[in-house]
Amino acid sequence: MAELVNSTIAVIGAGPVGLLVALLAARAGLDVVVVEAGSGLDPSPRAVAYFPAVLEELSNAGVLQDILAVGEKNDDGCDWKDVAGNLLGSLSPPPNSVDYAVCLSQPELGKILVEKLLATGNARILFNHQFQRLDQDDQGVTYWMSENKGHESIAGKCRYLVGADGGRSAVRRAIGVQFDGFTWNSIQFVAVNFQYPLSDFGWKAATFIVDPVDWGIVVKRGRGHSWRFATGVSSAEATSSLDLHELTVQIVKERLSRILPGEKNSIEYEAMAPYRVHQRCASSFKVGNVLLAGDAAHLNNPVGGLGLTTGLLDAAHLAKSLIQVLVDGHDSKALENYAQVRRMIFRERTDPITIQNLLRLNSNDDEQVKTREQFFSDLNSHTDFAANIKAGLSDYALTSTSISKFDTSQEVTWFISVTKIDDWSRERFEHEYQTVHAGMTRKGKDHGSPLRRYIQLSNITTTVVLGQRPQWDFVTCLTFPSLFLVHAGFQDPGYRATAGAHVFCRLDQEGCLAKQVARYSKDPPENTTKSVAVQALVFHKRSRELDEYSDTWFQKQALLFSQKVKTDDRLLAYTLWQDITPKDTTYFFQDTQFSGGSWHRFKAVEAFNFDTVDVAILFLDQIGQSTVGSKNELIAVIGEPRTVV
């Protein structure tokens, strides 16, 4: 048997995801081996666009300037057109935006990553080595591979093994993880590279073609006249009597000729690759000391370019977690957190976003047509800033490591404790908070603030068995379309000059920013404006930095109180939130009056609605510790909510 291959980390797969994990780990001084079955990097047409959230991670890896040297910046956004060239919708970055994308072919990115990886002196790449199997024990992972030129088995030993070996991952199969989801069986996807001076016709670097048949994406793939067209051929056409490749070439050329402006005879066709597309997710991203990332962990259709985007953001989070454990001495919960968070991001964001991206281009379904029309209506509306941000910066929703890119995809509620300044009178305090600050907020809303709801919840002084009672006077509850818009609002000069500069309470505030997980009400869904007489907020405290409730906990809690809303006349409504406060609150709250607050204390928040305070206290005392948590883990606020916005 050949000599044992030892390393701290073994990465199976030399695609961009595996190479980025390896590079970040090697830059931290860790010994890395990359195992790749191919004789070199995969040259086939694949991803071509790298968005701001990914560029931040590539900058952290020390390769951004190399990428900019050979790639092409795209800071003009994207368009949606029909086959005739009519503009359906357009998305352009806001004025003075510092964000941009870079167009560069995936093989060229791979070359840069390989060069930088080997330059660290802490890594080896074994091309022509096929991963076979693995075994785990308390010491780590032993794995076996074979050289393609022979059949001799070669053993490797590592602390952690990363499976980044693509959608057909042998590592995923070796650890027995399911790959749930579906295949787009009705469509044969095709990607083709071509040369054409399309920019001369005023086309942006990315254009989506909306049509039931001739749909597709035309995107620049680097400098000069290099472009890529991605589309789909129906399976019925692809399985006709003609050879698949010949038929694919014929259909794609005819389709591209119908779409592009100008003299079509000058189109120079290059590499073409047909492929099947899936929407799938591994049942777990971690088994023991083996971790999955990129296509080995999840697959999605390519519309919008979020497949490799999600994979590279996996790589950034995984490398950070490995460094925390192996260099900084953290326990393995950092890796559990990677597996849980990245799987959640794919299932709740990448997967549904990319499905909708595809259906927006080619679906004739009545509901999808209605959704598409609403999308373009929102996109073309100058007043719907939130819709533009959500569509234009969807990659922000996929990062879990950025300190400067914040989620654009989901609504967030910000809970803020409000406590009277010690030497203020009660009258002055309540006037400044309930009248002056509320008035500023209403005025801001009238002038276009994206704030959706503002509620001031009083905190009556009473004792409950359920949890500890804080000394707060009120809790402010602010609901925004996204974290991105919360942070963007801090930079708004109008806000900074009015509500942002208005001090009306102590600044040692506590709270969290949270996403809604579940809501149940006795009232019908359309009756959202009905006033609430009494509300109780229950805050669940963290015991340590990485203390988080599992998905199972949230599911069980939601199920429990959905039943209580149905069966207990006292409980009128129930809402459950999960904390998503950015880890780096120093950056998030920089130069604001919230910079001195404590924003990581809570991991979940529950709201209970009642008719009276007495009913609320009785209900909470009865459910007590048995259904919610121990008293030392909880903070309870009961009061009368006042709607400001």
Taking only the tens place, the pLDDT of each residue in 41-85 is 988 767 788 999 999 999 999 999 999 999 988 888 899 999 999
Question: Could you read off the pLDDT of 190-226 as tens digits, one per residue?
Answer: 888 999 999 999 999 999 999 999 999 999 988 889 9
Does residue 17 or residue 493 have the better pLDDT? 17
Question: DSSP code of 543?
Answer: S
Last residue within a domain, chosen from 398, 432, 455: 398
pLDDT value at 529 more than 60: no
- Rounded to two decimals, the pTM is 0.83
Phi and psi at residue 512, to the nearest 5° = -165, 165
Residue 124, pLDDT score? 97
- Is residue 197 in some structural domain? no
What does the DSSP 8-state code read for residue 110? Answer: H
Distance CA 7, CA 124 (A): 10
Clarify whether residues 427 and 565 are in a common domain: yes
Q: What is the pLDDT of residue 196?
A: 95
Stretch (H or E) spanning 50: strand 49-50
Same domain (yes/no): 423, 392:
no
374-399 average pLDDT score:
78
Q: Examine the domain organization and report whether 336 and 468 are in the same domain.
A: no
Residue 421 and residue 371 share a domain: no
Evaluate whether residue 406 is within a structural domain.
no
Is 23 a member of any domain? yes
Read off the pLDDT of each residue in 23-34 and give the average, rounded to a whole number: 98
State the average pLDDT over residues 475-481: 96
3-class secondary structure, 73? strand
| Percentage of residues of the chain with pLDDT beyond 70 | 93
Same domain membership, residue 121 and residue 155: yes
Chosen domain end from 398, 422, 445: 398
Range list of H helices, 273-384: 306-326, 333-345, 351-362, 366-380
At residue 102, does pLDDT exceed 60?
Answer: yes
Among the residue ranges 7-16, 349-358, 524-533, the one predicted with the least confidence is 524-533
The pLDDT, as a whole number, for residue 240 is 47
pLDDT at 629: 58
Strands 206-210, 216-220: pairing is antiparallel
Say whether both 297 and 371 belong to one domain: yes
**What integer pLDDT is reported at residue 239 of this predicted model?**
53
Please tell me the predicted confidence (pLDDT) of residue 383.
63
User: Which range, 17-31, 526-540, 619-633, is most confident?
Assistant: 17-31
Same domain, 428 and 341: no
Buried b (16+ CB within 10 A) or exposed e, 79-105: bbbebeeeebbbbebeeeeebbbbbbb
Contact (Cβ atoms closer than 8 angstroms) between residue 487 and residue 407: no
Instruction: Say if CB 278 and CB 168 are below 8 A apart.
Output: no
Residue 14 belongs to a domain: yes
Measured CA distances, 488 to 94, 97, 516, 606 (Å): 12, 12, 21, 27
At 89, is the pLDDT very low, low, confident or very high (cuts 50, 70, 90)? very high
Same structural domain for residues 366 and 512? no
**Percent with pLDDT over 90 in the chain:** 69
DSSP state of 386: H
For position 1, what pLDDT does the model report?
46
pLDDT of residue 243: 47
Separation of alpha carbons 306 and 276, rounded Å? 16
Summarize pLDDT for 308-339 with one digit per residue, the tens: 999 999 999 999 999 999 999 998 999 999 99
Residue 292 in domain: yes
Residues 369 and 440 reside in one and the same domain: no
Q: How many CB atoms sit inside 10 A of residue 504's CB?
A: 22
Q: Report how many domains make up the chain.
A: 2
For 4-13, 62-71, 94-103, 251-260, which range has the lowest pLDDT when averaged over its residues? 94-103
Average pLDDT (375-387) is: 77
Lowest average pLDDT, out of 398-407, 452-461, 584-593, goes to 398-407
Is 54 in the same domain as 10?
yes
Q: Do residue 375 and residue 431 come from a single domain? A: no
DSSP-assigned letters across all residues of 591-632: TSTTTTSB-SSEEEEEEEEES-HHHHHHHHHHHHHHHS--GG
Cα separations in angstroms, 439 against 3, 281, 371, 442: 74, 47, 36, 5
Domain that holds residue 443: 412-643
Kind and range of the H or E element at 183? strand 179-183
Q: Do the domain assignments include residue 191?
A: no
Which of 398, 426, 442 represents a domain boundary (last residue)? 398
